[in-house]
């Protein structure tokens, strides 16, 4: 019997659920999207997913040609297959996601969190191909991470390892409050929302002109900062310098754990290119312990944003 | 042919080199110690080691009964077998330690850093037996660490992973200067020397009475603090509370990496027992991210200090 030639990847986000049927060469053969938001009943959600998937599965010759399904989801637990206490998803408590999909589709289903899926995607198809030790940092609405050691994703004792967005990077009492309820987390500074907060802080504290002043203070997004920085706006560039500096300094600390071959940055903020990467590199070199100096590569993911999460989830399914 | 029944363990410290011949049940059959300090010529040092080892090797029936040798040494690199740029050893630059011993003794020799050897010892013979994910923290003159993920020690891309003593835990500009040249490292606070520094700071800043005031300020050691704390001295107890709080808070951050099943604390400072462990636990629980709360065990090593390092090094040799 031939090996089954396809897998299903699901990038399960708070707003949308994006499905792709993927072959072994990382081609997305078919894809579809349904809304996640508002689907408060998990059983109805699963039903809707399977309905949306049905024509895609038919297109590749039926479920017998599909090896399995990989899901990247916030607070997805690789060990249990559950989503546990995800603050941005409609379902509260513990949801046995892999069990529900597996029973409905009749194929094996694995779950991991979205940043871990991105790391697996990067290792399978991206700039981390062939690397045995690297750290993936996803700079989106929050800061996610996937840590790869000895060629394997680090899940830890409970399946929840790799939450570097919640390392405390500012220990001062006036450090920013994070969504997790603690102060000074990396995510409170170096996510898209963190960048918008930095913009509001800088605009309030500083007196110099900036095109960002044309936008109402509480409406500024990281996208606005990015556009202004592209125009050479000084204040906007300083926001990236601040963000990159903090990221570089934090990565210097992370290196003491696992001395990775590379850091791979992914997500909206990396669109700023050298405006973000130059201060990251500068702060990393200035802060890393002597024995590690000049060793780790600092890379931007080259995977297409729209596809990367689905490909990462799909890559997980190939390992079933 | 029978399996060879013994290994040699070497705990190579800045002052002394302690050798043990160890059997598969962790019995130290024979041991000897020579000075490391002052032995500036590495070849003379190796010669002296082998001379000291000769009668021990005879005692177990000759080198044919010895499977290999494991060495725990500061800045020991598992991948290369070298000691690289170790500030507290007499040899500068890069020393091909495993090659030198292996050529001289005719058996395979592996090297790792002293804290990694301790972690392997703990995993093989100690409280971490059977654990797949834990972090070892050695609180001695410095702070060393060994990180175990998926049942394997994390060496990273260059063999130098696991330097958690050099994670920056105080980001303020007035944070303590560390021996590594940077500010705010865990080691500058939570090592024996760090505790002595805390004692000097507290005694200078505070006005309350303490038996530590009988000792000249620049002669106070962590041992003095320990004795005073045992007597119930308030200031000495506060020093442990401060140290433990910082350790607990730091471990809470470390957990985001690898969500370990346990932290194992080893070394002189742990003699303080609950005076150190209570604030560690309190600060850990108060600072760890919600999803990790109540999961990791916080343990003190039960291995005999004098033997643990040699046993750890020996355990490494069994894996050759």
Here the ipTM equals 0.92
Residues of A in contact with B152 (CB under 8 A): 150
| Domain co-membership, A296 together with A313 | no
Q: Which range marks the domain in which residue B154 is found? A: 130-302
Question: Nearest CA of chain B to the CA of A270: how many Å?
Answer: 22
| Domain co-membership, A94 together with A236 | no
| Domain co-membership, A101 together with A179 | no
Distance separating alpha carbons of residues B278 and B131, to the nearest angstrom: 23
Distance separating alpha carbons of residues A96 and A111, to the nearest angstrom: 10
CATH code: domain of residue A163: 3.30.420.40
Residues of B in contact with A253 (CB under 8 A): 167-168
Question: Is residue B179 one of the residues assigned to a domain?
Answer: yes
Question: Nearest CA of chain A to the CA of B82: how many Å?
Answer: 14
- pLDDT tens digits for range A178-227: 999 999 999 999 999 999 999 999 999 999 999 999 999 999 999 999 99
Question: Is residue A222 one of the residues assigned to a domain?
Answer: yes
Nearest by CB: A162 against B254, B257, B261 = B257
Residues of A in contact with B74 (CB under 8 A): none
Render each residue's pLDDT in chain A as its tens digit; 320 residues: 457 899 999 999 888 999 999 998 889 999 999 999 999 999 999 999 999 999 999 999 999 999 999 999 988 999 999 999 887 899 988 999 999 999 999 999 999 998 999 999 999 889 999 999 999 999 998 999 999 999 999 999 999 999 999 999 999 999 999 999 999 999 999 999 999 999 999 999 999 999 999 999 999 999 999 999 999 999 999 999 999 999 999 999 999 999 999 999 999 899 999 999 999 999 999 999 999 999 999 999 998 877 888 999 999 998 88
pLDDT number for residue A2:
58
| Domain co-membership, B189 together with B312 | no
| Domain co-membership, B72 together with B192 | no
Nearest by CB: B154 against A149, A249, A295 = A149
Question: Is residue A138 one of the residues assigned to a domain?
Answer: yes
What are the CA-CA distances from residue A266 to residues A224, A228, A236, A277, B163 (Å)?
19, 21, 20, 12, 26
pLDDT number for residue B2:
58
| Domain co-membership, A172 together with A114 | no
Burial of B292 (0-12, 13-18, 19+ CB in 10 A): buried
Residue contact A256–B167, C-beta within 8 A: yes
Distance separating alpha carbons of residues B43 and A278, to the nearest angstrom: 46
Locate tokens 């040798």: which residue?
B69
pLDDT number for residue A185:
97
Locate tokens 């601040």: which residue?
A242
| Domain co-membership, B248 together with B278 | yes
Buried b (16+ CB within 10 A) or exposed e, B242-252: bbbbbbbbbbb
Residue contact A163–B289, C-beta within 8 A: yes
Residue contact B162–A257, C-beta within 8 A: yes
Q: Is A94 on the interface with B (CB under 8 A)?
A: no
Render each residue's pLDDT in chain B as its tens digit; 320 residues: 457 899 999 999 888 999 999 998 889 999 999 999 999 999 999 999 999 999 999 999 999 999 999 999 988 999 999 999 887 899 988 999 999 999 999 999 999 998 999 999 999 889 999 999 999 999 998 999 999 999 999 999 999 999 999 999 999 999 999 999 999 999 999 999 999 999 999 999 999 999 999 999 999 999 999 999 999 999 999 999 999 999 999 999 999 999 999 999 999 899 999 999 999 999 999 999 999 999 999 999 998 877 888 999 999 998 88
Residue contact A150–B147, C-beta within 8 A: no
Residues B72 and B7 sit within 8 Å (Cβ to Cβ): no
Looking at residue B298, what DSSP letter applies? E
| Domain co-membership, A144 together with A290 | yes
Q: Is B47 on the interface with A (CB under 8 A)?
A: no
Number of separate domains in chain A: 2
Q: Is B275 on the interface with A (CB under 8 A)?
A: no
Question: What would the DSSP string read from start to end of A43-90?
Answer: HHHHHHHHHHHHHHHHHTT-GGGEEEEEEE-TTB-TTT--EES-TTSS
Q: Tell me if residue B192 falls in helix, strand or coil.
A: helix
| Domain co-membership, A148 together with A34 | no
The number of helix segments (H) and strand segments (E) in chain A equals: 9, 12
| Domain co-membership, A184 together with A275 | yes
Residue contact A160–B260, C-beta within 8 A: no
pLDDT number for residue B63:
96
Question: Is residue B1 one of the residues assigned to a domain?
Answer: no
Residue ranges of B 280-309 with Cβ closer than 8 A to chain A? 287, 289-292, 295-296
Q: Is B147 on the interface with A (CB under 8 A)?
A: yes
Distance separating alpha carbons of residues B93 and A279, to the nearest angstrom: 31
What are the CA-CA distances from residue A196 to residues A162, A190, A211 (Å)?
24, 10, 14
Question: Is residue B80 one of the residues assigned to a domain?
Answer: yes
Distance separating alpha carbons of residues B116 and B114, to the nearest angstrom: 5
Residue ranges of B 202-261 with Cβ closer than 8 A to chain A? 249, 252-254, 256-261
Question: Is residue B125 one of the residues assigned to a domain?
Answer: no
Best CA proximity match to A313, nearest among A160, A113, A171: A113
Residues of B in contact with A249 (CB under 8 A): 168
Question: Is residue A1 one of the residues assigned to a domain?
Answer: no
Q: Is B79 on the interface with A (CB under 8 A)?
A: no
Q: Is B41 on the interface with A (CB under 8 A)?
A: no
Q: Is B85 on the interface with A (CB under 8 A)?
A: yes
Nearest by CB: B256 against A152, A164, A260 = A164
| Domain co-membership, A246 together with A97 | no
Q: For chains A and B, count residue pairs whose Cβ atoms are closer than 8 Å.
A: 135
Best CA proximity match to A168, nearest among B286, B197, B37: B286
Question: Is residue A263 one of the residues assigned to a domain?
Answer: yes
Interface test with A, best of B150, B164, B168, B257 (most A CBs within 10 A): B257
Nearest by CB: A147 against B132, B133, B257 = B257
What are the CA-CA distances from residue B266 to residues A145, B136, B252 (Å)?
30, 8, 18
pLDDT number for residue A155:
96
The whole-model pTM stands at 0.93
| Domain co-membership, A84 together with A178 | no
Residue contact B154–A257, C-beta within 8 A: yes
Distance separating alpha carbons of residues B274 and B90, to the nearest angstrom: 37
Residue contact A163–B256, C-beta within 8 A: yes
């Amino acid at each position: 019997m031939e090996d089954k030639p396809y897998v299903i990847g699901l990038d399960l986000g708070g707003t949308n659920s994006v499905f792709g049927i993927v072959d072994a060469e990382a081609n997305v053969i078919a894809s579809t999207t349904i809304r996640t938001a508002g689907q408060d009943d998990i059983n109805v959600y699963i039903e809707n997913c399977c309905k949306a998937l049905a024509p895609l599965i038919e297109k590749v010759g039926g479920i017998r040609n599909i090896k399995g399904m990989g899901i990247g989801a916030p607070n997805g637990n690789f060990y249990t297959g559950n989503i546990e206490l995800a603050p941005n998803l409609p379902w509260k408590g513990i949801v046995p996601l892999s069990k529900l999909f597996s029973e409905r589709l009749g194929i094996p289903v694995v779950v991991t969190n979205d940043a871990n899926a991105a790391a697996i995607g990067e290792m399978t198809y991206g700039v981390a191909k062939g690397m045995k030790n690297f750290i993936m940092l996803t700079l989106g609405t929050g800061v996610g991470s996937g840590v790869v050691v000895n060629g394997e994703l680090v899940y830890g004792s409970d399946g929840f390892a790799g939450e570097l967005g919640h390392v405390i990077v500012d220990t001062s009492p006036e450090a920013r409050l994070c969504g997790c309820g603690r102060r000074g987390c990396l995510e409170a500074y170096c996510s898209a929302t963190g960048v918008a907060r930095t913009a509001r802080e800088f605009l309030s504290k500083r007196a110099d002109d900036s095109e960002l002043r044309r936008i109402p203070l509480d409406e500024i997004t990281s996208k606005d900062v990015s556009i202004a920085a592209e125009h050479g706006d000084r204040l906007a560039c300083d926001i990236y310098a601040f963000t990159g500096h903090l990221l570089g300094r934090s990565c210097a600390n992370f290196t003491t754990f696992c001395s990775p071959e590379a850091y791979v940055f992914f997500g909206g903020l990396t669109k700023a290119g050298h405006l973000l990467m130059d201060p990251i590199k500068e702060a990393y070199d200035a802060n890393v312990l002597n024995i590690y100096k000049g060793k780790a590569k600092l890379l931007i993911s080259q995977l297409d944003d729209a596809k990367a999460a689905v490909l990462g989830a799909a890559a997980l399914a190939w390992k079933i």
